[in-house]
Amino acid sequence: MKKHPLGQNPDFRKLFQQLNGQYSGKKPEDGQGEKDGTPEPERFDSNGNPVKKKKKRRRFARGGKVAAAAVILILLGTNSYYILDEENYAVVSTLGSAQAVSQAGLHFKIPFIQNVRRVSKGIKGMPIGYDPETGTSDESESIMITKDFNFVNTDFYLEYMVNDPVKYLYASSEPVATLKMLAQSYIRDTVGTHNVDDVITTGKSEIQSEIKEKLTNRMMEEDIGLAVVNITIQDAFPPTTEVLNAFKNVENAKQGKETAINNANKDRNEKIPQAEAQCDQIIKDAEAEREARINEAQGQVSRFEQMYAEYTKYPLITRQRMFYETMEEVLPHMKLYIVDESGTQKLLPLDRFAEAMEQQIASGQPSGEITIEEAQE
């Protein structure tokens, strides 16, 4: 009997079968051992060198590359443009160089190289001296001293806007805080130049104008991209109740004064036109009287000139006629007084003689002498 070259040792026979690929009567398939849970036997080539296993490629390798490329393209596409509305500025920075864009619409940029930051164009507000949410006063900001060394609690509201977005972002680290600090400084400086009565009552408009002018000029010097729109006094009142009541009384008195002045002006406006109308009427009447007297004087002058012309022709006759005419005008209005030797006085008005003669003529009696007794009767 022919002996096997490896002998009768079963381990050598098993190894030989593995070398020839005939273990268990069939060639093992790749991955079969892993599927069965048993380790896959090691394979050798014809020279006895172990054969390395080929790594199984995953079916989704190609799909992963496609997905990664798609993601990259999407990122590039979304970072290559931006949309700007009317209410914002866009500050585009390219490798440290910034540029402002204010035109609304679609704009393109270099992805991952150019960065865009939006800055609002709208007007913003800043309370000074109070908390807008709770309405409580912040005494560290609101308590101030006036020119006449009185304390006053004053609240302000500052309105501002961005006029240069590049300087707003890069010229100062805290532009809004800088604006508030400067506003508080000028507020205290201006309030300190006015009396407490002006701050609380009549001088608010002037104080607001002074603060706005000073703060605007200072912001132009600082050049941090902010501009002052307006500043207003929200409220101003004394720090104590007693002083507040006193100022209310003063304010009421001033209102009463204004009311009295308005009533006086109303009365004046009503009476002045009446007086002017009366004055015009008096002037017109005087002018009419003047014209009448002038015309009368001119008529008298004309009559005198005519009389004088007749007088120069017949002086004696003219004098007599003038004498008679004058007596006719004077004697009817005269009263005759006769005084006898005994000192008795009797009133003998001439109109009685005229009436007696008229009665005598009317009765048909012949005209004759009328005694004094008849005239007296």
The band of 235, judged by pLDDT with boundaries at 50, 70 and 90, is: confident
Q: In the predicted model, is pLDDT for residue 353 greater than 90? A: no
Distance CA 198, CA 207 (A): 9
What's the Cα-to-Cα distance from 154 to each of 139, 178, 249, rounded to whole Å?
Answer: 9, 21, 20
Sequence letter at residue 233: I
Distance CA 284, CA 286 (A): 5
The residue to which tokens 């309370």 are assigned: 127
Range name among 40-44, 122-126, 262-266, 331-335 with the lowest pLDDT average: 40-44
Q: What is the pLDDT of residue 27?
A: 47
Burial (CB count <10 Å: 0-12, 13-18, 19+), residue 175? buried
Q: What is the pLDDT of residue 351?
A: 57
Name residues whose C-beta falls within 8 Å of residue 42's C-beta, 6 or more positions apart in sequence: 18, 50
Cβ 152 vs Cβ 196: under 8 Å: yes
Q: In the predicted model, is pLDDT for residue 28 greater than 50? A: no
CA torsion angle for 154, 159, 165, 168 (degrees, to 10)? Answer: 0
The vertex-201 CA angle with 139 and 255, nearest 5°, equals 140
Average pLDDT over residues 317-327: 85
Q: What is the pLDDT of residue 64?
A: 73
Burial (CB count <10 Å: 0-12, 13-18, 19+), residue 217? exposed
Share above pLDDT 90 across residues of the chain, in percent, rounded to a whole number = 30
Cβ 196 vs Cβ 156: under 8 Å: no
CB atoms within 10 A of CB 195: 16
Average pLDDT over residues 130-142: 87
Range name among 31-40, 42-51, 147-156, 224-233 with the lowest pLDDT average: 31-40
- Of 111 and 266, the structure prediction assigns the larger pLDDT to 266
CA-wise closest residue to 369 among 359, 357, 358:
357
Q: Which tokens hold the place of 197? A: 């009565």
Q: In the predicted model, is pLDDT for residue 342 greater than 70? A: no
Q: What is the pLDDT of residue 98?
A: 84
Share above pLDDT 70 across residues of the chain, in percent, rounded to a whole number = 72
Q: What is the pLDDT of residue 356?
A: 66
Q: In the predicted model, is pLDDT for residue 119 greater than 70? A: yes
Cβ 151 vs Cβ 145: under 8 Å: yes
Distance CA 113, CA 85 (A): 22
- Whether the model pTM is above 0.85: no
Q: What is the pLDDT of residue 312?
A: 86
CB atoms within 10 A of CB 142: 21
Cα 234 from chain centroid?
Answer: 14
CA-wise closest residue to 179 among 199, 163, 203:
163
Q: What is the pLDDT of residue 14?
A: 56
Scored b (16 or more CB within 10 A) or e, 1-40 reads eeeeeeeeeeeeeeeeeeeeeeeeeeeeeeeeeeeeeeee
Average pLDDT over residues 181-206: 90
DSSP 72-106: HHHHHHHTSEEEE-TTEEEEEEETTEEEEE---EE
DSSP 148-171: TS-EEEEEEEEEEEES-HHHHHHT
Q: If you ran DSSP here, which 8-state letter would residue 44 be given?
A: B
Q: What is the pLDDT of residue 327?
A: 85
The residue to which tokens 């703060």 are assigned: 215
Helices (H) and strands (E) in the chain, counts: 12, 11
CA-wise closest residue to 123 among 232, 235, 223, 226:
226
Cβ 207 vs Cβ 198: under 8 Å: yes
End-to-end CA distance of the chain: 222
- In three-state secondary structure terms, 256 is helix
Beta bridge partners of 44: 50
Range name among 93-102, 125-134, 265-274 with the lowest pLDDT average: 93-102
- Of 61 and 204, the structure prediction assigns the larger pLDDT to 204
CA-derived radius of gyration, the chain: 64
Distance CA 37, CA 49 (A): 25
Q: In the predicted model, is pLDDT for residue 79 greater than 90? A: no
